[in-house]
Chains A and B, each alone.
Chain A
Amino acid sequence: MKPFSALSLLREGLSGQRGWKPQWRNPEPKSYYDAIIVGGGGHGLGTAYYLAREHGLTNVAVLEKGWIGGGNTGRNTTIIRSNYLFAESAALYDHALKLWEGLSQALNYNMMFSQRGVLMLAHTVHDMQVSQRHVHANRAAGVDNEWLTPQEARAFCPPLKIDDIRYPVLGAALQRRGGTARHDAVAWGYARGADALGVDIIENCEVTGIRLGPAGAVEGVLTTRGPIRTQRLGVVAAGHSSVIMKMAGVALPLESYPLQALVSEPVKPVFPCVVMSNTIHAYISQSDKGELVIGAGTDAYTSYTQRGALYVPSHALEAICELFPMFRRLRMLRNWGGIVDVSPDRSPIIGKTPVPGLYVNCGWGTGGFKATPGSAHLFAWTIAHNEPHPINAPFTLERFRDGNLIDEAAAAAVAH
């Protein structure tokens, strides 16, 4: 792997950009791997990278049904934050945030990580109580979060209209370390890093079955490109986790819903931060390309179609136009859906399963992108040690049986 540097940019600039090589190989699948990761999104590619980098497992394959980063990694609104209510969640998401802070350097790949601040608005007395509870809980857990008055919120985000609207802004919680990153770069950066360490990234390779031995342990997978043997199988298939795990006879407490997002036509830099309003349901930031990136809600019903009803993004746009009247004349360019795997307590499941050699990382629901490096790092640790890392130890599959839910559903009250 040729490292990127100012010098290499200059050299290629002078020679017409003709010297760049593919950033990762396109290998044929081998008959055996020490570990196989199912799902070539950010979480899966990152898992393979950390398996190779930190645990010395380099005979590893990532199997991807389509192309890498083509699922939810390429479909989210790129928001990164760690201001979750419960200590377990705050530790998990802040682990990810700390990795984000050094990720461009670690991977020698520009993640365009921008800590521009995430502003979460409060519009009702209940919102204010919940938000301030979050602020206090986060500060007690060592995660930055601060409370702003409506005037301070407007000073931080000048386009914001705080009064003369249906739900005036009564205050806001601000996490200054939060922000955005380039979603594609996350997949590509991890793919390039993993490939350089010997990981095979195999695209257009759909897993069609999981082979179990006489003792019930994983022996391999069946794929559209032939059978592959392995003793360690990590499933990171987001919306399709239930489908894959069913092949090994494991039922999951998940339901898959379409989650929609949309972008506007590109405009000059006008929007300095990320703004989220859970109550009137709007998520907005501006990409470096100039498009407003807007998150809408999930559709009402389970689906695998990667699309949804138009009234769902329309609802988000009504809220955006109310909060930011200057965007009323903007045109929307594209909208799309991704299939998110929602767990009963809106917290992820990262750990072992009843099948020996089978590990699962799922249930990230509507908020998985922000966790990508942390999720990948902890899942690799779990696979390498055959036991969960202390940070993901509370996020087991068994917590539903044992009643130890980490109920961010009640805490966040909406998609997050």
Chain B
Amino acid sequence: MLLIECPYCGERPEPEFVYGGQAHIARPSHPAEVSVEEWTAFLYLRDNTRGVHAERWRHTHGCGRFFNALRDTTTDRFLATYRVGERPPQPPGGWS
């Protein structure tokens, strides 16, 4: 079980959280104007990164807030968590 640092509440066990998938995917502001390919990419295509992954979590059974995290998907180690709206910090070993 992972220990996850909620930026608002501190370190809590994984079952308090819900995973929210890849972070920083912006919904096109005018969906009717983007191409089918761009809309497909927004809906379905994911980086599925092997390495440092920026992702969303929600502290559902806690403060209820969304936040973002950098986690290495080859070790499951969290490198950082940060609030929504903040830029992702530079991971210690760089982006892989």
A binds B: yes
Which A residues are closer than 8 A to B by beta carbons?
A: 240, 242-243, 251-256, 300-305, 309-311, 344, 400-401
A-B contact pairs, 8 of them (CB 8 A): A243-B48, A243-B50, A301-B55, A301-B76, A302-B53, A305-B76, A309-B2, A400-B43
10 extra A-B contacts, CB within 8 A, seeds A251-B46, A302-B73, A305-B76: A243-B50, A251-B47, A256-B73, A300-B18, A300-B19, A301-B2, A304-B50, A304-B73, A305-B73, A309-B1
Contacts of B1 in A (CB 8 A): 309-311
Chain A proximity mask over B39-73: 1 for CB below 8 Å, otherwise 0: 01101111111100101000000000000000101
Contacts A255-B21, A310-B1, A401-B40; A302 near B15 (Cβ below 8 A): no
* B36 is an interface residue with CB less than 8 A from chain A: yes
Contacts of A400 in B (CB 8 A): 40, 43-44
**A256, B55: Cβ atoms closer than 8 Å:** no
Contacts of A304 in B (CB 8 A): 50, 73-74
**B46, A255: Cβ atoms closer than 8 Å:** yes
Interface SS, A side: loop
Contacts of B21 in A (CB 8 A): 255, 302
* B11 is an interface residue with CB less than 8 A from chain A: no
Cα distance, A309 to B14, chains bound together (Å): 9
**A302, B44: Cβ atoms closer than 8 Å:** no
When C-beta atoms are compared, the residue in chain B nearest to A301 turns out to be: B19
When C-beta atoms are compared, the residue in chain B nearest to A342 turns out to be: B48
Contacts of B2 in A (CB 8 A): 301, 309
Contacts of A300 in B (CB 8 A): 14, 17-19
Shortest beta-carbon distance from A376 to chain B in Å:
24
Contacts of B18 in A (CB 8 A): 300
Contacting residue for B41 out of A251, A254, A309, CB 8 A: A251
Chain A proximity mask over B1-29: 1 for CB below 8 Å, otherwise 0: 11000000000001101110100000000
The 6 closest A-B pairs by CB, nearest first: A253-B44, A242-B48, A300-B19, A309-B1, A401-B40, A301-B19
Contacts of A311 in B (CB 8 A): 1, 14-15
Shortest beta-carbon distance from B19 to chain A in Å:
4
Shortest beta-carbon distance from A66 to chain B in Å:
15
Cα distance, A303 to B55, chains bound together (Å): 12
When C-beta atoms are compared, the residue in chain A nearest to B40 turns out to be: A401
**B48, A401: Cβ atoms closer than 8 Å:** no
**B44, A344: Cβ atoms closer than 8 Å:** yes
Contacts A309-B2, A401-B37; A254 near B19 (Cβ below 8 A): no
Contacts A310-B1, A311-B1, A400-B40; A303 near B48 (Cβ below 8 A): no
Task: Pick the most buried of A251, A310, A344: most chain B CB atoms within 10 A of its CB.
Answer: A251
Cα distance, A301 to B17, chains bound together (Å): 11
Cα distance, A367 to B49, chains bound together (Å): 22
Contacts of B90 in A (CB 8 A): none
Contacts A300-B14, A300-B18, A401-B40; A305 near B48 (Cβ below 8 A): no
Cα distance, A254 to B47, chains bound together (Å): 8
**A401, B53: Cβ atoms closer than 8 Å:** no
Shortest beta-carbon distance from B52 to chain A in Å:
12
Shortest beta-carbon distance from B62 to chain A in Å:
15
When C-beta atoms are compared, the residue in chain A nearest to B41 turns out to be: A251
Shortest beta-carbon distance from A82 to chain B in Å:
26
Shortest beta-carbon distance from A8 to chain B in Å:
44
**B44, A303: Cβ atoms closer than 8 Å:** no
Contacts of B55 in A (CB 8 A): 301-302
When C-beta atoms are compared, the residue in chain B nearest to A309 turns out to be: B1
Cα distance, A311 to B73, chains bound together (Å): 19
Cα distance, A148 to B14, chains bound together (Å): 39
Contacts A251-B41, A255-B21, A309-B2; A302 near B14 (Cβ below 8 A): no
**B46, A301: Cβ atoms closer than 8 Å:** no
Shortest beta-carbon distance from A305 to chain B in Å:
5
Cα distance, A156 to B39, chains bound together (Å): 49
Contacts A251-B41, A302-B73, A305-B73; A256 near B14 (Cβ below 8 A): no
Cα distance, A310 to B15, chains bound together (Å): 11
**A252, B48: Cβ atoms closer than 8 Å:** yes
Contacts of B36 in A (CB 8 A): 401
Contacts of B48 in A (CB 8 A): 242-243, 252, 254-256, 302
Contacts A300-B19, A301-B55, A401-B36; A254 near B46 (Cβ below 8 A): yes
